[in-house]
Structure 1
Amino acid sequence: MASSAQSPVQTHPKSLDLIAIGRSSVDLYGQQIGGRLEDMASFAKYLGGSPTNTAAGGARLGLRTGLVTRVGADHMGRFIREELEREGVDVTGVVSDPDRLTALVVLGIRDRENFPLIFYRENCADMALDVGDLDRDWLRHTGAVLINGTHLSQPQAFAASVAAARLVKENGGRVVFDIDYRPVLWGLAGRDRGEDRFVAHEGVTTRLREVLPLCDLIVGTEEEIHILGGVTDTLAALGAIRAQTGALIVCKQGAGGCTVFPGAIPATLAEGVVVPGFPVEVFNVLGAGDAFMAGFLRGWLRDEPLERCCAWANACGAIVVSRHGCAPAMPTWPELEWFLAQPSLPHRLRDSAELEHIHWATTRRHRYDELTVLAVDHRSQFEDLVAELGADPARIPLFKALALRAVETVAGGDDRFGLLLDGRYGFEALASSADDPYWIGRPIEVPKSRPLVFESSADVATELAEWPLHHVVKCLVFYHPDDAADMRDRQERQLLRLFDACRKTRHELLVEMIVPAGLPVDAMTVARGIRRLYALGIKPDWWKLEPVTDPEAWRNIEMAVLENDPYCRGVVLLGLSAPEEELLASFQAAAPSGIVKGFAVGRTIFYDVARGWLANRLDDEQVVAMMAGKLKTLVDAWRQARAAVTEGQKA
């Protein structure tokens, strides 16, 4: 059998680089570190399952990946499907099973050696995968298929894995085998021993060896090499494997890196292709092997030299062992490139602020070339209006629900639209928006506070832990770079706390910066404020800034953002209750700046309408129509301003 290095060149194009087949689950990761699983009180929910992790990790590295699995026709199954789609994984082969629940895994981090986990896989969806679930035409058009040792433990799943491998092989593709041995899933360990990695068993060895003639690449740890080879001496196990296959064999060796055997097994491991690992602190080994596989395949499927494939694989594994979680910890290609380019890195890798920022910024779920937002997150303004008119405060939430209807009227499901809504009066509208594709932002500050004070909990991270992940944290700060030292320091400490809390709770952050009335402003003022916050280490995902008509000010702002964070999503313009004509003029000035993505305008759109409705001069339908009309006018004006810039550049 030819080794992987000698695999024939494909003679027809493939729509995918890789299709993984096998288990897919939801990982519930304990958030308390250093204790027993029994004592963990809260859990983070992540995508999970070895081949699923590799498919997601490969997509992050630029491979075109797909997945064959079953998930339950339940909330967790929909979560897996949606997460895969967000990662760019083709879900053609993901089948919803109406009779079984999605698999779950509960995991914890006890110390650097012990990672307790419990597999909830009794009659679960993914282990019921069978040959009938295979989309044969889809599989014919992949460059490779990844099969997984765990799935060979069940007869139906075994048959599906082998059938997929044969089909891909017959159509010029390659077969990758991840040994992935978990004794508990073969019934060889107690159910509370999910972390066990090796139990010798002749029956398991026999079953795993049945796929060897199909393989072009085999990847496993030393323990997994032992179970596949049938002996606990690594060289002898490698020899037994080589006797049945000419596949490229990769032996993962943890922090030591890996050793590759492209041909005959040598007399010592050191005579293989040895590529050292990266000396980083081990925080969590779970998922590192899946990241290793993704990194190796990023090179191997593109015929890179073995040493480069291994370096990428080792780097991906090193990055993941430094983080919480499996799939969410997988590096992206820009992140991997940056990592490999550094002459030195901290041993405690997650202390690298730059690496963590690249990871955060390159794993955000959506790209926004345009964002137009109706801002109705106001609280004090509505309270003042209700008091002035003698209206019932209970009507405020009803008005905010009408604002959501106005956005829906204009947007019609277009995800370039959004809403700013508060949790106090906008809770019902926020809940109603959960099934919509719109961008959602929520305020965290006490209205009009200067120095900045956060609403609700004194511990802002505790508050954000209760927010849905897709809600963007909006923080308005009245800030001038030349503020008195005490005022500036107090506000900056608050912003640092908030930025840290957002990263820890996985929420995006929008900083709305307004220069306090009466303070001097020139073309550099806002840009200086932005640079000051970046210098402190604060990197918002979004900026919300005042509309200005000075092109030089916009050039300075754009330089300040791009020089400090080229991954920033961009700037949206606020309205400050400006008349519509002034806003339209500000659009013309901002449109040439590519960093400006649109606007988040409120009172210009809703204030007069709200006054009429609260005074019972307008009914609900009139309110929706009037706000929708005002919003559409601004959207059209913004798009026309941006289109004029594009046309001018072409000319």
Structure 2
Amino acid sequence: MASSAQSPAQNPPKSLDLIAIGRSSVDLYGQQVGGRLEDMASFAKYLGGSPTNTAAGGARLGLRTGLVTRVGADHMGRFIREALEREGVDVTGVVSDPDRLTALVLLGIRDRENFPLIFYRENCADMALDVGDLDPDWLRGAAAVLINGTHLSQPQAFAASMTAARLVKESGGRVVFDIDYRPVLWGLTGRDRGEDRFVAHGGVTSRLREALPLCDLIVGTEEEIHILGGVTDTLAALRAIRALTDAVIVAKRGAAGCAAFPGAIPAALTDGIVVPGFPVEVFNVLGAGDAFMAGFLRGWLRDEPLERCCTWGNACGAIVVSRHGCAPAMPTWPELEWLLSQSNPPHRLRDSAELEHIHWATTRTHRYDELTVLAVDHRSQFEDLVAELGADPERIPVFKTLALRAVEAVADGDDRFGLLLDGRYGFEALASAADDPYWIGRPIEEPKSRPLVFESSADVATELAEWPLNHVVKCLVFYHPDDPADLRERQERQLLRLFDACRKTRHEMLAEVILPADLPVDAMTVARAVRRLYAVGIKPDWWKLEPVADPLAWRNIEAAVLDNDPYCRGVVLLGLSAPEEELLASFQAAAPFGIVKGFAVGRTIFYDAARGWLANRLDDDEVVAMMAGKLKTLVDAWRQARAASGGGAGA
């Protein structure tokens, strides 16, 4: 029987908690639920593959994770790499294969028990992983390695998995084995039976058992325990495994929770360390086991008691079975804490607005301590200008590409910069910005509408479904908390529709609130408007608000935001065509408040340049230089104001 690894307390410090090795694919999830895969019409694209899901899930729970895999040198391979980087997974071990395509999986949700899937894995990149892809020094820096049963089905991948396990083991780390049995990937079923979980096969059992002498932890469903043990009686299978290894064995039992066996196998499953599951409605079981592994390892790799490891694993699995997708459904640590704090959690977890907001807010990528934006999303203003000057409207899109050049001239790749661009006249600029790191916002409202009208189809979600995911949906509303009730409620219903559509299409939302000029304003007005919109259920990722000179107004605004959504990304100041000196003065008032991240200013920067260019008094380079100069002046002024105020310590 193999001996366990030395206690982690005796190991030298490690740079990573966990390196996973094996499958990495793009999951294409059917967006229609309750029918055949044949009848699904659209698919959502997610990160996928069992060890990849666990690496991402572990990172969300605070583990330092890495991944060893191959992806194609193609668009989907770049998607996987970028998604892993956004999750904080170390991609040192992700190899781009120029000869093979990235693996794909098509999945569907038919009912609560049937989840059809098709693996597109013929000669795919990840199954070509071999020993030459391994970085021994990097692997030795891991406290544990996770190997995966599927990757033991191919000789090259088997050798790579075993070599990685030995390298980690020899350096004082631990080896985790996810049995992960998919009969179709061993050639034991038809390709249309990807959802099948068990086919007895002596050859598979023998191959999987070759990993056991290296293992410190083995995790699998009861069916997976059966294939590893070689018999379909769970206790007998556990005993057969125990005869070959003294690793901790964890049997996942679905809704019943799990049972852990750190030593001898008892007379009954209930005599192990049994931890019940969470009584939640099952929406989608796919990915739940990977989430269980991430939660369990969050505890096990930090030497928590096995009971707690099991509880965390069960909780993570319960959250994921309530959601669409695998990797994107993985919970973060705040979500796990929330579920564990509930004495009576809701049966339908996905109906919990609080949990879903925590999930949304804590899985957004990139933190913005500063954001400075050139706003050229104006439409009616440009139309008025070309009409006044007798200019050709076809020149408006060209000017907006010059605005992008102006941002690039100042930003030079700095992702603290951004643009607001519209789809009507700014489409070319939006497309050109697709490869840039800049924040991109895009308006959805009909210009000057009050009550709010959307510039789109009757179903705003249908419009947003056509927008790239990195486009932030900006909505300007002329709104006052003391508007007539019918007007106020009509606008709130529109904003609530938009907020719901943004969440369902996975777009961030920026709410721009401008107070109508004919209504009274005091130090509480904007804060009351913000609180009112939160009260009806709208939690935008960003606010865009008018600059105010009164520090009390900013204190009230900051309190209104933080009281209702401590996860809010923050506020950016709008310009309202204010002269430059007025804007600079407003920066001084806003800078001490951490909730304010910067500005999104338009006409103050671009209007004179646009007028001169459309009148043919300025050429392209002059316009770019003019806008870049004004943008830089505002950026420098904002940063100086922020530094002088103490850096927004109230954030």
Distance 2:463 2:64 in 1: 38
Residues 1:399 and 2:399 are matched in the alignment: yes
Partner AA of 1:349 in structure 2: L
Distance 2:614 2:96 in 1: 48
Distance 2:544 2:614 in 1: 29
Distance 2:78 2:545 in 1: 37
Shift of 1:12: 1.1
CA separation of 1:433 and 1:156: change in aligned 2, threshold 3 A: same
Shift of 1:85: 0.3
Distance 1:382 1:318 in 2: 52
Partner of 1:156: 156
**Aligned 8 A contact 1:5 1:262 in 2:** no
Structural mapping, 1:488-637, within 5 Å: 488-637=488-637
Q: Deviations over 1:274-333 (max 9, x none)?
A: 000000000000000000000000000000011110110000000000000000000001
Partner of 2:385: 385
Residues 1:349 and 2:369 are matched in the alignment: no
Q: Deviations over 1:227-275 (max 9, x none)?
A: 0000000000000000000000000000110000000000000100000
Shift of 1:4: 5.7
Partner of 1:145: 145
CA separation of 1:8 and 1:462: change in aligned 2, threshold 3 A: closer
Partner of 2:452: 452
Distance 1:471 1:164 in 2: 40
**Aligned 8 A contact 1:32 1:41 in 2:** yes
Partner of 2:439: 439
Distance 2:189 2:156 in 1: 22
Shift of 1:10: 3.5
**Aligned 8 A contact 2:5 2:169 in 1:** no
Distance 1:547 1:459 in 2: 33
Q: Deviations over 1:107-152 (max 9, x none)?
A: 0000000000000000000000000100000001100000000000
**Aligned 8 A contact 1:27 1:105 in 2:** yes
Partner of 1:410: 410
Structural mapping, 1:253-402, within 5 Å: 253-402=253-402
Q: Deviations over 1:32-82 (max 9, x none)?
A: 000000000000000000000000000000000000000000000000000
Distance 2:549 2:561 in 1: 19
Shift of 1:646: 1.3
Distance 2:140 2:6 in 1: 21
**Aligned 8 A contact 1:3 1:263 in 2:** no
**Aligned 8 A contact 1:4 1:217 in 2:** no
Return the TM-score normalized by structure 2. Answer: 0.99
Distance 1:316 1:563 in 2: 28
Partner of 2:50: 50
Shift of 1:346: 1.4
Partner of 1:165: 165
Distance 1:482 1:459 in 2: 28
**Aligned 8 A contact 1:14 1:143 in 2:** yes
Partner AA of 1:482 in structure 2: D
Structural mapping, 1:186-205, within 5 Å: 186-205=186-205
Distance 1:103 1:648 in 2: 46
Distance 1:477 1:113 in 2: 45
Distance 1:137 1:485 in 2: 66
Q: Deviations over 1:590-610 (max 9, x none)?
A: 001100000000000001110
Distance 1:589 1:6 in 2: 58
Partner of 2:93: 93
Distance 1:648 1:188 in 2: 61
Partner of 1:35: 35
Partner AA of 2:218 in structure 1: I
Partner AA of 1:520 in structure 2: P
Distance 2:544 2:8 in 1: 54
Partner of 1:481: 481
Distance 2:457 2:634 in 1: 36
Residues 1:177 and 2:180 are matched in the alignment: no
Partner AA of 1:210 in structure 2: E
Distance 1:397 1:291 in 2: 46
Distance 2:649 2:340 in 1: 37
Distance 2:349 2:59 in 1: 23
Partner AA of 1:20 in structure 2: A
Distance 1:98 1:610 in 2: 46
Shift of 1:5: 9.2
Partner AA of 2:176 in structure 1: V
Distance 2:497 2:95 in 1: 43
SS of 1:290's partner is helix
Partner AA of 2:506 in structure 1: R
Partner AA of 1:322 in structure 2: S
Distance 2:427 2:339 in 1: 42
Distance 2:649 2:189 in 1: 67
SS of 2:431's partner is helix
SS of 1:199's partner is coil
**Aligned 8 A contact 1:10 1:173 in 2:** no
**Aligned 8 A contact 2:592 2:649 in 1:** no
Partner of 1:223: 223
Q: Deviations over 1:371-424 (max 9, x none)?
A: 000000000000000000000000000000000000000000000000000000
**Aligned 8 A contact 1:377 1:422 in 2:** yes
Q: Deviations over 1:576-598 (max 9, x none)?
A: 00000100010000001100000
Distance 2:340 2:479 in 1: 39
Partner of 1:234: 234
CA RMSD of superposed structures (Å) = 1.1
Distance 1:542 1:111 in 2: 37
Distance 2:113 2:301 in 1: 33
CA separation of 1:647 and 1:169: change in aligned 2, threshold 3 A: closer
SS of 2:618's partner is coil
Partner of 2:9: 9
Partner of 2:118: 118
Gaps in structure 2 of 5+ consecutive residues: none
**Aligned 8 A contact 1:598 1:638 in 2:** yes
Distance 1:285 1:186 in 2: 22
**Aligned 8 A contact 2:71 2:95 in 1:** yes
**Aligned 8 A contact 1:345 1:352 in 2:** no
Distance 2:470 2:648 in 1: 36
Partner of 2:461: 461
**Aligned 8 A contact 1:4 1:262 in 2:** no
Shift of 1:3: 6.9
CA separation of 1:377 and 1:364: change in aligned 2, threshold 3 A: same
Identity of aligned residues (%): 89
| Paired residue total | 650
SS of 1:108's partner is strand
- Following TM superposition, where does structure 1 have runs of at least 4 consecutive aligned residues deviating by more than 2 angstroms? 1-11, 647-650
**Aligned 8 A contact 1:479 1:529 in 2:** yes
Q: Deviations over 1:146-182 (max 9, x none)?
A: 0000000000000000000011000000000000000
**Aligned 8 A contact 2:5 2:172 in 1:** no
Distance 2:566 2:4 in 1: 39
SS of 2:235's partner is helix
Partner AA of 2:548 in structure 1: V
Shift of 1:11: 3.0
Distance 1:518 1:594 in 2: 30
